[in-house]
Chain A
Amino acid sequence: MSSETTLTAIPTGVVGKQAPGIWGFNGSQLIALLLLVAALGLAPFFLYPVFVMKLLCFALFACAFNLLIGYVGLMSFGHAAYFGMGGYIAGHAAKVWGLTPELSIIAGGLVGAGLGVLGGWLAIRRQGIYFAMITMALAQMVYFFCVQAPFTGGEDGIQAIPRGKLFGVISMDSDMAMYWLVAVVFLMGFMFIHRIIHSPFGQVMKAIRENEPRTTSLGYRTDDYKLVAFILSCGLAGVAGAVKTLVFGIATLTDVHFSMSGEVVLMTLVGGLGTIFGPVIGAAVVVGMQNYLAEMGAWVTVIQGGIFVACVLAFRRGIVGEIGNLFKVKL
């Protein structure tokens, strides 16, 4: 890996110096968090709740992905495998086993994490672009597994998945009820990721991102840290996939396909690699774009590709990174 510029050329790398704040959020992040919570509370009254739920699922997915690329410097090109598999398991659990939504979501997260143990164990043996290629190939293997495995329903997917009753009591059939569940899961995931980043474990993650050999020389077993970070990220991706499945009542091959892995990279890149709020904004941009440009067909792919190119050439900090740079704050 070139030592001249690391992947995240964002001025976040002041490891060790923590600004005072609440729960590890500094002042500007606290304002952004309050805005986010307010937006979560108001959004379903102004926007179509299902659309906002979809957005939140992808936002959590992108945050989970960003935990790897933004804070450990690991570029996974196969995160759709964990997202989609979490969705399949949650769908199967809710439909066939009749589990309640919270248990289905937990099952999705656990399977995502379990798959992450295997994938991470293999992928961390190589670095840089090889890591990206390995995660991508493993995800393709999962995709073919899902095409053939009987429980996924092949091309049809799992359909008509019931949302069920939360804790066996509260029916989730109305979109508003489901919305609050999704919002709570998203916020919990978001805070969990924030907590990881600001833990001692997270400091080592960032040290690995900045300079892995030096971190090794300080006595940290970097492979173990990378693996744990990978598993955490995959587990959260599984949770995101599980929630998405329950929202739409359907789990299909789209969610395990490579293009989904590409989309989450795009979301994170657009929002800002290595920023806490970036993936949320990025997910909003990409999902919103897909929603409003849906009738343009394949041009959406072209636009997405164009955004990739523009981000890489001119806009490497992403939206949130640029804002943070403009106001000299860390978001």
Chain B
Amino acid sequence: MDEIFGIPAPLLFGQLLLGLINGAFYAMLSLGLAVIFGLLNIINFTHGAQFMMGAFAAWMLLAWAGLGYWWALVLAPIIVGFTGIILEKLFISRLYKLDHLYGLLLTLGLGLIIEGVFRNQFGSSGLPYRIPAELSGAWDLGFMYMPIYRGWVVVAALFFCISTWLIIEKTRLGAYLRAATERAELVQAFGINVPRMITLTYGAGVALAAVAGVLAAPIYSVNPQMGSNLIIVVFAVVVIGGMGSILGSIITGFGLGIVEGLTKVFYPEASATVIFVIMAIVLLARPAGLFGRA
């Protein structure tokens, strides 16, 4: 078991794991985008900035308040989600009657503001965030060494994704949410406070981005651009998966991460572009996306 297809096994599995981790972030971010889009009809361009805010929140909690990783995992999404709620109340809620594209432009502007403020405050070189002691080290799996933290990221991301899916598909709250996605006026007529639900949904989608940010903080250096580089890929992931299905965006996210990891092994030159190429192919074969409704 030293070589698979002429590739050294540790290299192959190492890249697969990296791909899986990227896939975890793709899945969490595209899931948040899909949830927000479903109810608000807005593509949240601020999502990358909010992912970055999650990572910075973790860093600030540690540096300024002495609260470690586990606290950050709980507090950062609440804090960032709350800022999301404020943004929705102040700005985004004014646009629901307009074309989708205004929402896109507004959230793009908000993202620029947030990113610029963080760059002024913290520079663009990036801040280190240490892996928590409980999760440092590596396991010897026999065929490769797996850093425990990386395994944890995949497991945690799966947990958050599946929880979101269960909440939306299996709970009463999720039923309201799905109903409001289809026909908001009718749900409101049944006495449910739809505007508040929209606000909270935006907050929840943002919180999901922030969780991804906290998970990413020890892997990537915490810097103001970390979100904007990721978010364009996530948009391609969303186009590939289609935003119709929650489970679909999870599968697409993880799947594309793995494909990207494998490309790094077999044809490294294309690893940065492979997802965009897949997007082009999917658009040709199935314009609505793999899981989308036309």
Question: Which A residues are closer than 8 A to B by beta carbons?
Answer: 1-2, 4-7, 9, 75, 122, 125-126, 128-130, 132-134, 136-138, 140-141, 144-145, 147-148, 258, 262, 265, 269, 297-302, 304-309, 311-313, 316
Shortest distance in angstroms between B91's beta carbon and chain A's nearest beta carbon? Answer: 7
- Say which residue of B99, B108, B119 sits within 8 Å of A7 (CB atoms): B99
Shortest Cβ distance from B109 into A: residue: A308
Shortest Cβ distance from B98 into A: residue: A5
Shortest distance in angstroms between A304's beta carbon and chain B's nearest beta carbon? Answer: 6
In the assembly, what is the distance between CA of A136 and CA of B229, in Å? 12
In the assembly, what is the distance between CA of A137 and CA of B101, in Å? 17
Q: Is the CB of B119 within 8 A of A298?
A: yes
Which B residues are in CB contact (< 8 Å) with A7? Answer: 99, 101-102
Is the C-beta of B39 less than 8 angstroms from some C-beta in chain A? no
Shortest distance in angstroms between B93's beta carbon and chain A's nearest beta carbon? Answer: 11
In the assembly, what is the distance between CA of A265 and CA of B101, in Å? 11
Q: Is the CB of A5 within 8 A of B287?
A: no
Shortest Cβ distance from B237 into A: residue: A137
Contacts A75-B101, A313-B91; is A133 near B283 (CB within 8 Å)?
no
Q: Is the CB of A305 within 8 A of B279?
A: no
Which A residues are in CB contact (< 8 Å) with B117? Answer: 302
Chain B, range 259-294, C-beta contacts under 8 Å to A: 269, 272-273, 275-277, 279-280, 283-284, 287
Q: Is the CB of A265 within 8 A of B105?
A: yes
Q: Is the CB of B280 within 8 A of A305?
A: no
Q: Is the CB of B113 within 8 A of A305?
A: yes
Which B residues are in CB contact (< 8 Å) with A301? Answer: 112-113, 115-116, 119
- Say which residue of B120, B233, B273 sits within 8 Å of A145 (CB atoms): B273
Shortest Cβ distance from B99 into A: residue: A7
Contacts A130-B239, A308-B109; is A5 near B269 (CB within 8 Å)?
no
Contacts A7-B102, A269-B105, A298-B116; is A133 near B273 (CB within 8 Å)?
no
Shortest Cβ distance from A7 into B: residue: B99
Shortest distance in angstroms between B104's beta carbon and chain A's nearest beta carbon? Answer: 6
Point out which of B99, B100, B114, B115 has the most chain A C-beta atoms below 10 A from its C-beta: B99
Q: Is the CB of A5 within 8 A of B97?
A: yes
Further contacts, 13 of them, CB under 8 A, given A129-B100, A130-B239, A133-B43 = A1-B99, A6-B99, A7-B102, A129-B37, A133-B236, A133-B238, A136-B235, A141-B273, A262-B112, A308-B108, A313-B91, A313-B94, A313-B95
Q: Is the CB of A313 within 8 A of B43?
A: no
B contacts with A, residue count (CB < 8 A): 46
Contacts A122-B284, A141-B276, A312-B106; is A134 near B101 (CB within 8 Å)?
no
Shortest Cβ distance from A131 into B: residue: B101
Q: Is the CB of A125 within 8 A of B283?
A: yes
Shortest distance in angstroms between A78's beta carbon and chain B's nearest beta carbon? Answer: 9
Q: Is the CB of B276 within 8 A of A140?
A: yes
Which A residues are in CB contact (< 8 Å) with B104? Answer: 75, 129, 132
Is the C-beta of B127 less than 8 angstroms from some C-beta in chain A? no
Is the C-beta of B156 less than 8 angstroms from some C-beta in chain A? no
Q: Is the CB of B101 within 8 A of A128?
A: yes
- Say which residue of B101, B105, B120 sits within 8 Å of A302 (CB atoms): B120
Which A residues are in CB contact (< 8 Å) with B41? Answer: 2
Q: Is the CB of A309 within 8 A of B287?
A: no
Q: Is the CB of A134 within 8 A of B283?
A: yes
Contacts A262-B108, A301-B115, A302-B116; is A136 near B99 (CB within 8 Å)?
no
Which B residues are in CB contact (< 8 Å) with A311? Answer: 105, 109
Q: Is the CB of A126 within 8 A of B239?
A: yes
In the assembly, what is the distance between CA of A309 and CA of B272, in Å? 31
Binding site secondary structure of chain B:
helix
Shortest distance in angstroms between A302's beta carbon and chain B's nearest beta carbon? Answer: 4
Is the C-beta of B187 less than 8 angstroms from some C-beta in chain A? no
Q: Is the CB of A305 within 8 A of B239?
A: no
In the assembly, what is the distance between CA of A147 and CA of B271, in Å? 13
Cβ-closest 4 pairs across A and B? A308-B109, A305-B112, A301-B116, A302-B116
Which B residues are in CB contact (< 8 Å) with A309? Answer: 91, 106, 109-110, 113
Q: Is the CB of A125 within 8 A of B287?
A: yes
Contacts A75-B104, A309-B91; is A302 near B97 (CB within 8 Å)?
no
Which A residues are in CB contact (< 8 Å) with B99? Answer: 1-2, 5-7
Chain B, range 74-100, C-beta contacts under 8 Å to A: 91, 94-95, 97-100
Which B residues are in CB contact (< 8 Å) with A265? Answer: 105, 108
- Say which residue of A1, A137, A307, A312 sits within 8 Å of B100 (CB atoms): A1
Q: Is the CB of A305 within 8 A of B120?
A: no
Q: Is the CB of B287 within 8 A of A126?
A: yes
Shortest Cβ distance from A75 into B: residue: B101
12 A-B contacts (beta carbon < 8 Å): A75-B101, A125-B284, A141-B276, A145-B273, A148-B269, A258-B228, A299-B120, A301-B115, A302-B120, A304-B109, A308-B109, A309-B113
Which B residues are in CB contact (< 8 Å) with A306? Answer: 109, 113
Q: Is the CB of B238 within 8 A of A299?
A: no
In the assembly, what is the distance between CA of A82 and CA of B15, in Å? 33
In the assembly, what is the distance between CA of A324 and CA of B157, in Å? 52
Which B residues are in CB contact (< 8 Å) with A132? Answer: 43, 101, 104
Shortest distance in angstroms between B40's beta carbon and chain A's nearest beta carbon? Answer: 12
Shortest distance in angstroms between A97's beta carbon and chain B's nearest beta carbon? Answer: 26
Is the C-beta of B205 less than 8 angstroms from some C-beta in chain A? no
Shortest distance in angstroms between A70's beta carbon and chain B's nearest beta carbon? Answer: 12
Is the C-beta of B111 less than 8 angstroms from some C-beta in chain A? yes
Q: Is the CB of A137 within 8 A of B232?
A: yes
Contact with A along B41-69 (1 / 0, CB 8 A): 10100000000000000000000000000
